[in-house]
């Protein structure tokens, strides 16, 4: 198995289009197809469902995607660490909430493709801790919700992320194209770790209140996205998470978007307004490019989508400042 095959597979899994994936990897489409066929033969499983007008992941492909991304992330991190050790300049210190969310990893891969000389050090921390580290200079840039950011931290909205629910494959919600928010009233709901994503938790609770009920919250805690998916697989609860939650591809689980109202969660890049690092503008530029290519900021249809207003931020409550 070759690293380039993993790169090609991840590119196709994200683009779901052979032509776009080949262009992204700067190879011809036939070479991309040949390498993916070799990868499938080596693994002994079919990773992709192909037709004339459609490319999709099989269950094996979805499971392999999670691991392939982690391998590429680790390989990239190892290379950056080695380069960082040999260089006098400090790395760009980037805050991520949890490796289970895919927004910042995709931004960083875009950054590395365009600017391979930039060294990146990733720091996993919840949004409150990111605020503290940005304020005192231990982080250069981070990704999270901009609501309640301290005055010295500025932001730019980068993704409007559909909110949904992760359930076991045999759950009644899997038969629905979308799950009305009111339907969560009969479910035991798992939220994120409070120290990691308190804003997302309040957002979900406020959304339930806006639909006329107080949610029943799973009493336990989870320390990782993988542990959360394990609880869902054990049928102990359902998990309310945005679409960027990588483990929504976990075999045995299904993610369905919330409807009535359909709702999107705001992810923003965060940085200290007085930080002198020249790399901040570079990573913001990479984030804008990938957001445009993947449609992260497509306009919200007011008739069908909204943000809950009770105890949670709305577009009117907080506007992310442009760079």
Per residue in 43-59, pLDDT tens? 898 888 887 677 888 88
Q: 208 near 214, Cβ under 8 Å?
A: yes
CA–CA separation, 51 and 185 (whole Å): 39
Give pLDDT, residue 320. 37
Model pLDDT, residue 87: 55
Is 162-264 a domain of CATH 2.60.40.10?
A: no
Rounded Cα distance between 34 and 92, Å, is: 37
Residue whose token pair is 């190892």: 78
Which residues neighbour 292 within 8 Å (Cβ) at sequence distance 6 or greater?
Answer: none
The per-residue pLDDT for 271 is 94
**What pLDDT does 249 receive?**
66
3-65 and 162-264 have identical folds = no
Q: What is the pLDDT of residue 79?
A: 80
Query: Which single residue is written with the structure tokens 């979900």?
Result: 204
- CATH number for the region 70-159+266-294 comes to 3.40.190.10
Q: Which of 286, 314, 321, 317 is nearest to 160 (CA)?
A: 314
pLDDT at residue 319 in the model? 36
pLDDT of residue 314: 37
For the entire predicted model, the pTM comes to 0.64
Domain residue ranges in the chain: 3-65, 70-159+266-294, 162-264
pLDDT of 24:
87
Which CATH code for domain 3-65?
1.10.10.10
Q: How far apart are CA 316 and CA 282, in angstroms?
A: 29
- Which residues in the chain show pLDDT less than 50? 302-323
Q: What pLDDT score does 206 carry?
A: 94
| Number of other residues whose CB lies within 10 A of the CB of residue 151 | 7
Alpha-carbon dihedral 179, 183, 189, 194, rounded to 10 degrees: 70
């Amino acid at each position: 198995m070759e690293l380039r095959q993993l790169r090609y597979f991840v590119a196709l899994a994200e683009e779901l289009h052979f032509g776009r994936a080949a262009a992204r990897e700067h190879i011809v489409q036939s070479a991309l197809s040949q390498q993916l066929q070799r990868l499938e033969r080596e693994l002994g499983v079919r990773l992709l469902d192909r037709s004339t007008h459609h490319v999709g992941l099989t269950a094996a492909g979805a499971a392999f995607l999670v691991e392939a991304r982690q391998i590429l992330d680790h390989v990239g991190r190892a290379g950056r660490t080695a380069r960082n050790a040999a260089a006098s300049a400090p790395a760009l210190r980037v805050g991520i909430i949890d490796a289970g969310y895919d927004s910042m990893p995709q931004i960083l891969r875009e950054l590395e493709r365009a600017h391979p000389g930039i060294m990146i050090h990733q720091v996993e921390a919840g949004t409150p801790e990111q605020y503290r580290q940005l304020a005192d200079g231990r982080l250069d840039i981070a990704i999270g919700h901009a609501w309640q950011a301290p005055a010295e931290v500025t932001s730019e909205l980068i993704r409007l992320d559909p909110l949904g629910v992760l359930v076991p494959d045999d759950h009644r919600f899997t038969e629905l194209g979308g799950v009305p928010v009111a339907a969560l009233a009969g479910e035991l709901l798992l939220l994120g770790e409070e120290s990691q994503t308190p804003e997302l938790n309040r957002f979900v609770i406020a959304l339930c209140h806006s639909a006329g009920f107080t949610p029943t919250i799973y009493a336990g805690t989870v320390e990782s996205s993988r542990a959360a998916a394990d609880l869902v697989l054990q049928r102990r609860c359902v998990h309310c998470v945005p679409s960027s939650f990588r483990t929504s591809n976990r075999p045995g689980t299904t993610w369905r978007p919330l409807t009535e109202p359909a709702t999107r969660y705001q992810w923003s890049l965060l940085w200290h307004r007085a930080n002198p690092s020249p790399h901040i503008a570079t990573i913001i530029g990479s984030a804008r490019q990938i957001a445009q290519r993947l449609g992260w900021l497509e306009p919200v249809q007011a008739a069908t989508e909204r943000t809950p207003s009770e105890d949670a931020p709305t577009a009117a409550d907080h506007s992310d400042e442009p760079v």
